[in-house]
Structure 1
Amino acid sequence: MKKNYLLLTCILSFCSISYELLFANTLAIMSGNVVLWHSLTIGIYIAGLGLGTFRSVDIIMPKKKLVRVELLLCLIGAISVASIYFITAIYETALSIAKAGYIADYSSYITLKTQLRALYFIICESLVFAVGYLSGFELPLIMAMASTDLNQETMDESNENQFIAFNYFGTLIGTLIFAYLLIPIIDALYTSLVVASINLLACLWLVLSFKAQTEKRIKVSLLIFSVLLGFSFFYAKSFEQIFLRVYYRAGTTFIDDDRHDFKTWWKKTMDKGDVVRIKTLYQYIDFFNVSWKGKDEFILMINTNFQFSSLNERYYHEGFVHIPVLITGKEPVDVLVLGAGDGLLLRELKKYESIKSLTHVELDPEMHELSKSNDVISSLNEGALSDPNIKTIIGDAFQFLRKSTKKYDAIFIDFPYPQDYNVSKLFSYEFYTFVRRNLTPNGYAVFDVPLRTKEGSTASESRRLIELHSTFTDSDFERNSIVMSTVSKAGFKIRIPYLVGKETFLLITNTNEQLNYDLLGKLSDRYPNLDNDALSLINRQYFPHVIEDQYVNSVFHPLLVD
């Protein structure tokens, strides 16, 4: 009997840590900043464990109590991911509606956003605390049950240590299986249901082992839970699809319809086909269609963060590629592209016959394959990823540059904005040192980077949503200083930030050749979307910052995390 209790301890601790990891992982994907959400979630989970253990002393009828605890954990665990999806969809939709004109000024919008963010945090982390609190009862209750069966008034130290050890073993097994099996293979939503099923089976074993002591309503609850869990497996994908459509389309369709009629809004949100979700080893890739001002728009997101829109991506990529060529006054010959897995940057580079060597480094093979095989994306990139003249390397850009000895005339860097420390290293002093080392003496690098101009954001639209007027803040100044100080520390003496539309880029070089900032009138068929208004602004933009060592973003001292 003791072996059964030890096994039960291991299984229940496996389920408990899996629930905690599910909450942390889902919150990090939905909200960004992996370190923040994982740290807060595990801290609140441990606090719940402590309080639950503290409250578990002198429990009468431990077997009945444990069955109730496990039923509650099954319920919370099964809805863990679904609840985060649901709460996040409401939060994002509410913010989108607020941007539609119900909030007149930026400060009021920020106040509302802060309040909603706090409420979002409280609700989500309350579920985490509940899991920890209930899990805190498990080990003391199991040990109390084992003591009774072993005819011991209190468990001796040797047996107690064995139960504690098996509790830790279950936690270790849970973290390993979660990271290497559950999330990579069956995804978060199904993982929550699988772990809840394991938890329910353990609960069923308890009921069958002590059926004489089990109330009828517990047995009925167990039956109901089993049926609901079975149905959940069949309808999980349908629920996820509804969530994705609301999360990505609800705000846009609300803004796009002046009537704001609920039935019309819901129909437009659900129409336009599925949101296709692909889970890769590195990220979630979502893409979908939406109507915006009477036009069909194709949008691609990575980890729920915007990547490109078919309506305005050419403006972005033309500014990315052609403005550095205009400023430096020369077309590159040997070019390296880091990131840009959608192939849209490569499309623009292919317009230069001067390029004799074009190397593309992309981390995610599934992103690369999708951009080659998907009809819409391959049409947008004009088959660039299938070009045999482009050398594609699947691998980590940081390690590629660290080991590379080749010199390039130009390096184009297109990474997601840094929302966690893994991506922040790609904006670090160490990374830019590798970039400088791999450039020819008059070569340059350019990358998409989160900078802010002094004038703030005044446009009426930005990435499908209404953008309220904002002012330049201290955090904007700090971010600018981090970016500029980091590339300066890496040895780049010439740093040229520029804004195209709503996107900011940074051109860095140590060239001795004269640069040209007056781009007025330099129109070309190569970049038809860049007009004189965009080109003339290049030498009239102001990005306030200071160059100081305290602002250097390093692998060992990460500062740049959105």
Structure 2
Amino acid sequence: MSASPPIDTERPPSGRIIFVSAIFAAAACGIVYELIAGTLSSYLLGDSITQFSLIIGLFLTAMGVGSFLSRFITRDLIAWFVLGQVAVGLVGGFAALIGFAAFAYTDLCQPILYGLVVVVGSLVGLEIPLVVRILRNLSTLRGTLANVLSADYLGALAASVVFPFALLPRFGLVGAGMLAGLVNVLVGGAVLWRFRGDVRRMSGVLAPSIVLAIVALGAGLGFSHRIVGRLEGALYQDEIVYTKQSQYQLIVITRWRNDLRLYLNRHLQFAAIDEYRYHEALVLPAMEAAARRQRVLILGGGDGLAARQVFKYRDVERVDLVDLDPAVTDLFQTAPMLTNLNKNSLNDPRLHIHNTDAFRFLQDSTDLYDVVLIDLPDPSRAELGKLYSRTFYGLVGRHLAEGGVMTCQSTSPFRSRSAFWCIAHTAAAAQWGPEGSLQMEVRPYHTLVPTFGTWGFILAGVRLPPTTDLKISVPSDYITTAFLPGLFVFPPDMSDIETPISDLDDPKVVELYEYGYHKILD
């Protein structure tokens, strides 16, 4: 049996402590870079599952490459560790900024992002092998590996908690990257200071590099919001009047003359010049088809525009609005330009805001509603697919009072015909009640919103009145009694087609949605 390496008694335990602490901080920064890359690629390129899968795979592979390459570093291990911290701090710190710039000004965003991930992953992969070799004379190999790997995993855990709840909302993607870069460089500086006697041969290079990196990253952090504002300005046609990175999404509002537009993660949500067409089509048919209108549930609709239409009906007594992101509802409750647009609907005493997931709200609530209005994002990602599943519509059905109805925005029957009819068929297949005895009658309809083109909806309920009996009883700018029946008539190129049912474990609607839009764009 081989003996454990002897402990170097000339170095106090503080040397071991500082390196273990360095691994904790470096691991946290590495996870932050990985999360930033995954979030940025999902935000810019779409398809979050594919992008996160590729980013994680590339990052881990690159870490393996970095670990392999560490074998070729045979001297000045501490100096190389410090240099690695400076390099990963600079590349990782500026990665999000470079990614934004590449998307705004080139057609090479994807390869540039993936290249940055490989570089950062390789530099992160160098860290643990170097530290283990540095510490092998301060402890047994068993103790060294246990300490280093424990610090590495704990650092990763810390970053995975801090990133979504603190770093991203407070600093945004670019600022969070700069801050992580600063931490890496400061770790390198602390190690250099503690072991300055061991790296005299390279201190003339390392010390100035650390100072310059701190200045660059500090300046980048200080001006990150201004820099991102300029880059985002290149991504939008109109003047940006508001931008904020919330815990869940990037919120951007643009203005051109009197037209305000809301973008969430770069996806247009409404244009003030014609949003009334969409929201009248979403709200008025359901409000007129319901047996009563006292209690209304809005899933999504954090901009208050659907609620504005609901409050046209004086017999409405209570509205529950469920929107995941408090940053959106707070904005549309307080910003004068937006409260003017939604007629201050979110501050109406009859309206109650619930900032939670729509699926979870339906699971936890026992309330019944006369009208349920579903104004959720399109099923463009797997995590949104559950909101268009048979299970979800079954939950909605359980919350319908007798004579209650539901309307759901259902994407474009022209651009994504299969996804639209999949939503309609899935809602019709939903069952609830004793032994699944209750189902909804579903009536698809569509309208034209100039900004979006042809847009589709479904009207559903256990028992629906004839479409010809619906009368619009409130003032409107678009939907009238005479106009309403025509919304339920589809031309041949948007007519009903056979589709699968979308379930929680197999969200077919997401696949159909992506295929439909890619087919149109190609």
**1-side partners of 2:105 and 2:263: how far apart?**
19
Counterpart among 339, 343, 347 of residue 308 in structure 2: 347
CA positional deviation for 1:323: 3.6
Counterpart in 2 of 1:52? 66
Counterpart in 1 of 2:390? 429
Q: Spell out, residue by residue over 1:183-219, the C-alpha distance to the aligned partner (whole angstroms, 9 max, x if none).
A: 2433322221211111111211333323412153333
Q: Between 437-446 and 388-397, report the one with greater CA deviation.
A: 388-397
Counterpart among 214, 225, 234 of residue 237 in structure 1: 225
Counterpart among 503, 514, 520 of residue 554 in structure 1: 503
Please list, as runs of the form range in 1=range in 2, the aligned pairs for 1:58-207 lying within 5 A after superposition.
Answer: 58-61=72-75, 62-90=77-105, 116=107, 119-147=108-136, 149-150=137-138, 156-207=141-192
Secondary structure of the 1:388 match is coil
**2-side partners of 1:514 and 1:523: how far apart?**
14
Counterpart in 2 of 1:288? 254
Counterpart in 2 of 1:358? 319
Secondary structure of the 1:511 match is coil
Q: Spell out, residue by residue over 1:329-370, the C-alpha distance to the aligned partner (whole angstroms, 9 max, x if none).
A: 877443222221111111112222343443333333332232
Counterpart in 2 of 1:28? 42
Identity of aligned residues (%): 23
Counterpart in 1 of 2:328? 367
Counterpart in 1 of 2:456? 504
Distance 1:229 1:319, change over 3 A: same
Counterpart in 2 of 1:468? none
Contact 1:329 1:516 in 2 (8 A): no
**1-side partners of 2:158 and 2:121: how far apart?**
18
Distance 1:131 1:245, change over 3 A: same
**1-side partners of 2:182 and 2:464: how far apart?**
66
State yes or no: 1:486 paired with 2:426. yes
CA positional deviation for 1:528: 2.0
CA positional deviation for 1:7: 2.2
Secondary structure of the 1:212 match is coil
Distance 1:367 1:537, change over 3 A: closer
> How does the TM-score come out when normalised to structure 2?
0.83
CA positional deviation for 1:444: 1.5
CA positional deviation for 1:27: 2.3
**2-side partners of 1:214 and 1:447: how far apart?**
65
State yes or no: 1:227 paired with 2:215. yes
Distance 1:512 1:534, change over 3 A: closer
Specify the code of the residue in structure 2 equivalent to 1:286: V
Contact 1:484 1:545 in 2 (8 A): no
Secondary structure of the 1:285 match is strand
Secondary structure of the 1:337 match is strand
Distance 1:325 1:78, change over 3 A: same
Please list, as runs of the form range in 1=range in 2, the aligned pairs for 1:392-471 lying within 5 A after superposition.
Answer: 392-453=353-414
**1-side partners of 2:24 and 2:355: how far apart?**
40
**2-side partners of 1:85 and 1:534: how far apart?**
44
Counterpart among 540, 543, 550 of residue 490 in structure 2: 540
Contact 2:16 2:135 in 1 (8 A): yes
Contact 2:430 2:440 in 1 (8 A): no
Specify the code of the residue in structure 2 equivalent to 1:538: F
**1-side partners of 2:52 and 2:371: how far apart?**
38
Counterpart in 1 of 2:12? none
Specify the code of the residue in structure 2 equivalent to 1:486: T
Runs of 5+ consecutive residues of structure 1 not aligned to the other structure: 92-115, 253-271, 457-475
Q: Between 189-198 and 506-515, report the one with greater CA deviation.
A: 506-515
Specify the code of the residue in structure 1 equivalent to 2:32: S
CA positional deviation for 1:79: 0.6
Q: Between 420-429 and 311-320, report the one with greater CA deviation.
A: 420-429
Aligned residues: 479
Contact 1:485 1:546 in 2 (8 A): no
